[in-house]
Amino acid sequence: MNQRNNPAGNNDANTRSAATALTNEPAHDLGPTLSGQTRPDPAGIGKKTRTKVVAASFIGNFVEWFDYAVYGYLAVTITAVFFPESDPQTGLMLTFALFAISFLVRPLGGFVWGHLGDRIGRREALSWSILIMSAATFCIALIPSYATIGVWAPILLLIVRVVQGFSASGEYAGASAFLVEYAPANRRGLYAAVVPASTAAGLLLGSLLAALLTGLLEPEQMQSWGWRLPFLLAAPMGLIGRYIRTKLEDSPVFKELAKEDQAVKAPVSTLFKNHWRQLLQAVGAVLLNAVGFYVILSYMPTYLSQELGLDETASYVATTVALVTYIGFIFVVGMLSDRFGRKKVLMSASILFVVLTVPAFMLLDTGNFVVILLVQILLGGMLSLNDGTLPSYLAEMFPTRVRYSGFAVSFNLSNALFGGTAPFVATLLIATSGSLLAPGWYLMAAAVISLIAVACSVETSKKALA
C-alpha cells in the first residue's frame, strides 16, 4: 500500500462507525502465492483505510437495492403510471416482468465486470459500475407517463432498467471480493456480511420512503410526481460512492497477483475451463438467496397489500421492522460462519426454509398485524443465515485470479433466472393456482436445490485465499 494513503499501523481513534469494529485485527497468513511464496495478510493497513474499504463496498449495493426496493414497494403506483389500461393484476404482472427483464442482462454484465475486475482491478470496475448504475436509476425519475407519451413510456422504462441491470451486475460480487481480500483471515465472514447488510439498508430506506410517501400523499399525487422522488436520490448517492472508491487502492492480494504478472488475460474462459464444478455449485447455492431475497424483502409488501388485503402503509411498516432485525442478524451470522464454517450455516438456512416456509405463509393469511410482523422477522432471520454467509462462501470458492468472475457469473446467472423473476413468478403462481401459499412452495423448492449444492461443495472458511 502507498505509505501516503495508507500508513502502517494507522489507528485512527477518532473514527466512529460500525466499520471500525471490524478493523482491529492481528495479521494472518493469506496462503501461498502462485509462485509458491507466502502471501501475508494485509497487515499495516490502518483502521482508516479498512473503514474506507467497508464504506466503498457498502454504498454501491446500497444504491442498487434502494432502487430495487423503491421499484418493488411502489409497484402498484408504477403500474398505474405505465400500464393504466391493463386490469390491476395484469398490470402488476407487466410491472414485475419489466423488473425481471432487467435481470436477464445480468449474466452478460457478470462476464464483463468480472473480466474487468480480474483483469484491471476491483477498484476500477467498482468505480465505473456505480456511476453507470446511479445515472440509470436517476433517469427513471425523468421518464414521462403512459398518459403523456403512450407506449414509449414502458419502452423507455425497459431500456433504463436493462442499463441498470448491466451496471449493477458487478456490484455485489466486486464488493464481496474486495472485502474478503482486505479482511483478516479469521474474519472474512464478518467483513463480507457488510455487503448483504448494505442491500438490506437500501431496502430499508426504500421501505421507509415508500411508507412515508404513501402515508402523506394522495394516490393522484403519488401517480403524478411522488413516485419519482426516491429515484432522484440516486445521483448524489452514486457520486459520493464513486468518489470514495477512487480514493482506494486495489486489494493486497490482487496487487500481489499483478506484481507477479499472473492476472489472466481471459479470466472468464479460465473460469469455465478450470473451475466449472465450483461454478455449478455456486449457481445452486445462490438459488435460495435469489428467490428468498426478492420474495421476502422486496415482493412481500405487494403480497401483503394486493393478495392479503393488508393496509398498504401497514405492510410497509411490517417490512421495515423486519429489515431492521434482518440487518442485525446479518452480522451475527457473519461471525457464526467464521466460527462454525460456511457450509453448516448455509445448510441450516436451507433446512429451516424447507420445514418452516409454508407454515409461515399460512400464518400470514391470518391477517393479524402482530402475527404478520413476527412471521416476517422469522423469515428474515432464516434468510440472514443464507445471506450473511453467501458472500464469503462464494468469494472463497474461487482463486484470486478468477474470483470476481466466478462470483459475478454465478451470482448473476442464478439471480437472472430465479431472483429478478421471483415477484413475477409468485404473482403468476397465485393467479394460476389460486393458492396464496404458492410463493411459500416456490421458496421451499429453491431451498432444496441450494441444500444439495452446498452439501456437495468444500468448506473454505479455514483455508487461506488461493
Q: What is the pLDDT of residues 36-88, one digit of tens each?
A: 443 445 545 667 777 888 888 888 788 877 877 787 778 778 888 888 877 77
Report how many domains make up the chain: 1
- Is the pLDDT at 97 greater than 60? The verdict is yes
Looking at per-residue pLDDT, the higher value among 303 and 49 belongs to 303
Could you count the other beta carbons within 10 Å of the beta carbon of residue 276?
A: 10
Grid coordinates of 260: 507477479
Residues 6+ apart with CB under 8 A from 100: 420, 421, 423, 424
Least trusted range by pLDDT, from 2-16, 111-125, 164-178, 443-457: 2-16
Could you tell me if residue 23 is inside a domain? no
Dihedral sign computed on CA atoms, order 345, 351, 354, 358: negative
- Identify whether 442 is part of a domain: yes
Residue 338 belongs to some domain of the structure:
yes
Can you give the residue range of the structural domain that contains 365? 43-455
State how far the Cα of 170 lies from the Cα of 408, in Å rounded to an integer.
6
Count of alpha carbons within 13 Å of 401, Cβ hemisphere only?
A: 19
Name the average pLDDT for the chain. 82
Q: What is the CATH number of the domain that holds 67?
A: 1.20.1250.20
Q: What is the dihedral of CA 434, 377, 318, 202, to 10 degrees?
A: -100
For 402-434, what is each residue's pLDDT tens digit? 898 999 999 988 988 888 788 888 888 888 988
Other beta carbons within 10 Å of 362: 13
Compute the distance between CA of residue 157 and CA of residue 24 in angstroms, rounded to an integer: 45
The pLDDT value given to residue 44:
55
Share of the chain above pLDDT 90, in %: 24
> Residue 288 — very low, low, confident or very high, per pLDDT cuts 50/70/90?
very high
Q: Which residue in 314, 374, 349 sits closest to 447, CA to CA?
A: 349
> Residue 243: pLDDT above 50?
yes
For residue 32, the surrounding DSSP H or E stretch is strand 29-32
Confirm whether 17 is domain-assigned. Answer: no
19 or 71, greater pLDDT = 71
Say what the pTM is.
Answer: 0.78
Which of the residue ranges 50-64, 128-142, 322-336, 451-465 would you say has the lowest mean pLDDT?
50-64
The residue-averaged pLDDT of 276-285 equals 92
pLDDT tier, 263 (very low <50, low <70, confident <90, very high otherwise): low
Q: Is residue 29 part of a domain?
A: no
With b meaning 16 or more CB within 10 Å and e meaning fewer, what string describes 79-92?
A: bbbbbeeeeeeebb
Q: Is residue 156 part of a domain?
A: yes
Among 23-32, 86-95, 276-285, 292-301, the range of highest mean pLDDT: 276-285
pLDDT bin (cut points 50, 70, 90) of residue 22 is low
For residue 12, being part of any structural domain is answered with: no
Average pLDDT over residues 231-243: 85
Is position 220 within any domain? Answer: yes
pLDDT the model gives residue 260: 63
pLDDT > 70: what percent of the chain?
A: 88
Whether the per-residue pLDDT at 273 is higher than 90: the answer is: no
The pLDDT assigned to 38 comes to 39
Average pLDDT (354-369) is: 90
Angle between helices 194-216 and 312-340 (to 10 degrees): 170
